[in-house]
Amino acid sequence: MLIARTIQECVSFRYKINKRVGLVPTMGALHKGHIALIKQSLKICDITIVSIFLNPKQFGASEDLDSYPIDDLRDLKILNKLNIDCVFMPLKSEIYESDHSIDIVENKLSKLLEGDSRPNFFSGVITIVSKLFNICNPSDVFFGEKDAQQLIIIKKLIKDLNYNLICHAIPTVRSENGLALSSRNEYFNESQKEIASNIYKSLCLIKAKIDGGEYNVNVLKKIFSKSIDNIPELQIDYFSIADIHTLEEVSKTISSTVLISTAILLDGVRLIDNIEYVI
């Protein structure tokens, strides 16, 4: 496994290869969710590159950039065992040189849901993702459905900026209790993880209600709030039932496929999760 610490090392590695190259962008603190993305790349691509870069641009001033879990040695051991071909671990100073002045902005989808609470988040994400696409020149890229809005916006980035690559959406990996795996779960002890698992349980309750014929979004929103409000440690940032393509809120009743998503605070840590309801 090549550990490319500079852009030049990564570019040189890439340009010697005339095969199907998969890229899995990560911010490190690898877990089984990342491993699922990597395994899919290993399965369908000839070469797999995993990037590890804690991207400062996608963190707001009051967010957890400084405390975000980092363990490069552990991550490298995991990647080595998986037998990937190259890990790209650039320095912040090389990715964002002191005169960096161009960021990419999405003007519609990124203003909704997560974008409402985290105004610069998606610009930060698509700026780094574009840079990684340009440096690694992958034929295939792999992102998790856990970050559903990110996935939708990255697909739009690929379409609008004519990146010639295939984007693979990989299902969310969950703990046995249903909690979606996330690097931020490392902030929690076991009892907090058990509390956090109520987020997915509440999403499943909404799914069961729709299965049972309840299509009224106001009723569904009340059911979700009640379910979360029963657990004093959890605070809802938002709960949304939105059109899967436009991410616009459904106003009255569900009549086509929706993204049901939420952001919840547990002891100051913001957790997101979602389910897609296909109609």
Q: Which two tokens stand for residue 41?
A: 């790349």
90 or 228: CB nearest ligand PAF: 90
DSSP code string of 28-67: S---HHHHHHHHHHHHH-SEEEEEE---GGGS-TTSSTTT
31, 34, 100, 168: which is the annotated catalytic residue? 34
Looking at the Cβ atoms of 117 and 255, the one nearer to ligand PAF is: 117
9: Cβ–Cβ under 8 A, 6 or more apart, which residues? 2
Per CB under 6 A, residues contacting ligand PAF are 25-27, 55, 58, 125, 128-129, 147, 150
267-276 burial, b for 16+ CB within 10 Å, e for fewer?
eebbbbbbbe
DSSP state of 26: E
What does the alpha-carbon distance between residue 64 and residue 54 come to, in Å, rounded to a whole number?
Answer: 11
Shortest gap between Cβ of 153 and ligand PAF (angstroms)? 10
CB of 58 to ligand PAF, least distance (A): 6
C-alpha to C-alpha distances, 140 to 61, 133, 162, nearest whole angstrom? 33, 10, 14
The answer to whether 161 touches 130, Cβ cutoff 8 Å, is yes
Instruction: Judge whether 245 counts as a catalytic residue.
Output: no
Q: Smallest gap, in angstroms, from Cβ of residue 279 to ligand PAF?
A: 28
When the beta carbons of 210 and 263 are compared against ligand PAF, the nearer one is 263
Q: What element of type H or E holds 202? A: helix 190-211
Min separation Cβ 181 and ligand PAF, Å: 12
Active site residues: 34
